[in-house]
């Protein structure tokens, strides 16, 4: 299987100094990333591949792209839940906001990332369950 996109991440962290405490304290983080590895958008007439060679479909996230985002989400979970305590280990809706375009590959990337973020957590809260339907 051939993939054309590379996985990339840009992390922007904002640090602010608390009025009470002179030590800098992390109060907000924004994490931006591109969709994971995907199948090509189109095939050239001379291509040896066929559209059926890419089971998720042309332009869609491939299994490696899902795995990349699960791993990234786990790394971000360790950073923002374990290391900094910025996010609670139990999912609280107003602590985290996920925004995606309407493209299937970007939605799948966001879902995989979120699954990885809370993958080591036993409990998401009373009304939430983490259900992932990725075929790897």
pTM of the model: 0.70
pLDDT computed for residue 21 by the predictor: 57
Distance (Å, whole) CA 1 – CA 17: 49
Length of the chain counted residue by residue: 136
Using one digit for the tens of pLDDT, what is the confidence trace for 73-117? 999 999 999 888 888 888 888 888 888 999 899 999 999 999 999
Question: In 3D, which of 113, 63, 52, 117 has the Cα closest to residue 90?
Answer: 117
| Average pLDDT over the chain, rounded to an integer | 76
Using one digit for the tens of pLDDT, what is the confidence trace for 19-53? 455 667 778 888 888 888 899 999 999 999 999 99
Question: In 3D, which of 71, 64, 77 has the Cα closest to residue 36?
Answer: 64
* Helix, strand or coil, per DSSP, at residue 12: strand
Residue 4's pLDDT band (cuts 50, 70, 90): very low
- Count the helix, strand and coil residues of the chain and give each as a percent rounded to the nearest 5: 30, 15, 55
């Amino acid at each position: 299987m051939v993939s054309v996109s590379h996985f990339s991440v840009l992390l922007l962290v904002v640090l602010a100094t608390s009025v009470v405490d002179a030590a800098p304290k992390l109060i907000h983080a924004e994490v931006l990333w591109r969709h994971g590895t995907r199948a090509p958008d189109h095939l050239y007439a001379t291509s040896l591949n066929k559209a059926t060679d890419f089971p998720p479909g042309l332009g869609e996230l491939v299994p490696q792209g899902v795995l990349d985002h699960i791993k990234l989400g786990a790394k971000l979970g360790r950073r923002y839940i374990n290391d900094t305590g910025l996010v609670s280990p139990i999912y609280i809706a107003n602590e985290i906001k996920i925004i995606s375009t309407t493209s299937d590959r970007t939605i799948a990337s966001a879902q995989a990332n979120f699954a990885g973020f809370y993958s080591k957590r036993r409990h998401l809260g009373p009304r939430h369950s983490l259900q992932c339907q990725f075929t790897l």
